[in-house]
């Protein structure tokens, strides 16, 4: 099993390169910061940190339940959706013939569930448009399949699986299996008729687990808070194995406040749409091919190994994600920043292109 390779932290880059200003466009975090309402709620909770958190997570679950109009029996919350991915492996996988099906490249954590359980991992390459290969995924499903992980939008490509494709995939699941629809970037997707909302599938009683997170659009990656909608029997199983105090006091109140902060969410989503369009346009103007993104990052084909471009950008104070660690060595994933961050990035990127001659 390869260890997870996270985006380089700002302080590390400052230390290593002696830079005073560093912009991180590497981990798809929210460039507008946490919701001010969440910050205030967390500040008010500070004096009570001597007490253990509410193990039932009653108020947070009630708030999520109200917001998405789904009974809290369908909800599991945790310190990040990463943790829920890990637990799903624990409750679904047990026998060496069990199979996990997923796409590649996709979010690396899915592979770990199969590798930890020592069962069969089937990774299906994305298609020529860098989308989930629905035919390949369906063909890979057998009677031993237990979990099918689909990131929608996909990380690192930002592409989506369409509603009809997801319906076909679910239709092929054997009894006892489930699709895990990872909607970490859900809030940034274009809600057209083609885009399936995982919540609808859970509400309809389908074998679907829909993962969401406070780490991206809600700007709370540092507090670690994620959740999932799932059939009640799966929630019961997850509740049996989870650590009781997995969500800390600050995350419990910060999550509730962030959910109520429509203004912050709107600013984030609108800012992302505007800057994602600008970033895409800029990269195309440099003669580069960009994968159309439904998320808060853009995957660009540099037409040459990404590592030297990554290194040169780092020296300019911009941390991006080289495709080398994402399974697409000639690509680079760039998180969408604020307008000012993007303007600075464009200048640095143009200089780096000149040095590395990627556009030649």
Ligand X SMILES: Cc1ncc(COP(=O)(O)O)c(C=O)c1O
Centre a 10 Å sphere on the Cβ of residue 253 and count the other Cβ atoms it contains. 22
- Tokens standing for residue 181: 């629809």
CB of 81 to ligand X, least distance (A): 4
Distance, CA of 124 to CA of 101 (rounded, Å): 8
CB of 16 to ligand X, least distance (A): 23
- Dihedrals phi, psi of 18, to nearest 5 degrees: 65, 35
CB of 272 to ligand X, least distance (A): 15
CB of 288 to ligand X, least distance (A): 23
CB of 163 to ligand X, least distance (A): 19
Query: Which positions from 106 to 145 touch ligand X by CB under 6 A, shown as an x/- string?
Result: -x--------------------------------------
Distance, CA of 235 to CA of 239 (rounded, Å): 6
Distance, CA of 73 to CA of 90 (rounded, Å): 20
Q: Residue from 26, 61, 68, 82 that binds ligand X (CB under 6 A)?
A: 82
CB of 338 to ligand X, least distance (A): 19
CB of 208 to ligand X, least distance (A): 15
- The Cα-based distances of 340 to 145, 292, 298, 302 in angstroms read 47, 22, 17, 23
Torsion angle, alpha carbons of 321, 326, 329, 333, to 10 = -30
Distance, CA of 121 to CA of 129 (rounded, Å): 23
- Tokens standing for residue 198: 């995982």
DSSP per-residue string spanning 202-241: HHTT-SEEEEEESSSTT--GGG--EEEE--HHHHHHHHHH
Question: For ligand X, how many residues bind (rule: CB under 6 A)?
Answer: 13
Torsion angle, alpha carbons of 245, 249, 252, 257, to 10 = 180
Q: Residue from 10, 39, 221, 348 that binds ligand X (CB under 6 A)?
A: 221
Using the minimum distance from each CB to ligand X, give the nearer residue, 196 or 358. Answer: 196
Using the minimum distance from each CB to ligand X, give the nearer residue, 81 or 306. Answer: 81
Is residue 80 involved in binding ligand X (CB under 6 A)? yes
- The residue at minimum Cβ distance from ligand X is 80
Residues 145-164 touching ligand X, rule: CB under 6 A, are 151, 155
Which letter does DSSP use for residue 216 in this model?
S
Is residue 81 involved in binding ligand X (CB under 6 A)? yes
Is residue 226 involved in binding ligand X (CB under 6 A)? yes
Residues 170-199 touching ligand X, rule: CB under 6 A, are 182, 184
Q: Residue from 35, 157, 215, 249 that binds ligand X (CB under 6 A)?
A: 215
Tell me the three state secondary structure of residue 233: helix
Q: Please report, as ranges, the residues that interact with ligand X according to CB under 6 A.
A: 28, 80-82, 107, 151, 155, 182, 184, 213, 215, 221, 226
């Amino acid at each position: 099993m390869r260890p997870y390779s996270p985006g380089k932290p700002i302080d590390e880059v400052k230390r290593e390169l002696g830079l005073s200003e560093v912009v991180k466009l590497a981990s798809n975090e929210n460039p507008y910061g946490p919701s001010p309402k969440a910050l205030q709620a967390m500040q008010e909770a500070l004096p009570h940190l001597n007490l253990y958190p509410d193990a039932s997570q009653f108020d947070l679950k009630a708030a999520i339940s109200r917001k998405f109009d789904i009974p809290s029996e369908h909800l599991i919350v945790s310190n990040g959706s990463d943790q829920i991915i890990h637990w799903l492996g624990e409750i679904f996988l047990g026998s060496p013939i069990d199979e996990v099906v997923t796409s590649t490249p996709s979010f690396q954590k899915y592979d770990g569930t199969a590798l930890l359980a020592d069962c069969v991992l089937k990774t299906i390459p994305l298609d020529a448009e860098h989308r989930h290969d629905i035919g390949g995924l369906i063909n890979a499903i057998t009677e031993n399949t237990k979990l099918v992980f689909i990131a929608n939008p996909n990380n690192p490509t930002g592409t989506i699986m369409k509603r009809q494709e997801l319906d076909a995939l679910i239709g092929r699941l054997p009894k006892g299996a489930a699709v895990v629809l990872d909607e970490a970037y859900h809030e940034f997707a274009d809600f057209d008729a083609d885009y399936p909302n995982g919540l609808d599938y859970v509400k309809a009683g389908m074998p679907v687990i829909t993962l969401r997170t406070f780490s991206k659009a809600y700007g709370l990656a540092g507090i670690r808070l994620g959740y999932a909608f799932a059939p009640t029997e799966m929630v019961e199983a997850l509740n049996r194995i989870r650590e009781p105090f997995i969500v800390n006091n600050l995350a419990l109140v910060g999550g509730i406040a962030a959910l109520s902060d429509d203004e912050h969410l709107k600013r984030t989503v609108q800012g992302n749409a505007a800057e994602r369009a600008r970033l895409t346009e800029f990269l195309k103007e440099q003669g580069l091919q960009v994968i159309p993104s439904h998320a808060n990052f853009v995957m660009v084909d540099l037409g040459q190994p990404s590592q030297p471009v990554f290194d040169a950008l780092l020296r300019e104070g911009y941390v991006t994600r080289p495709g080398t660690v994402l399974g697409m060595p000639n690509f680079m994933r760039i998180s969408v920043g604020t307008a000012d961050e993007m303007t600075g990035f464009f200048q640095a990127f143009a200089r780096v292109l000149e040095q590395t001659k990627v556009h030649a």
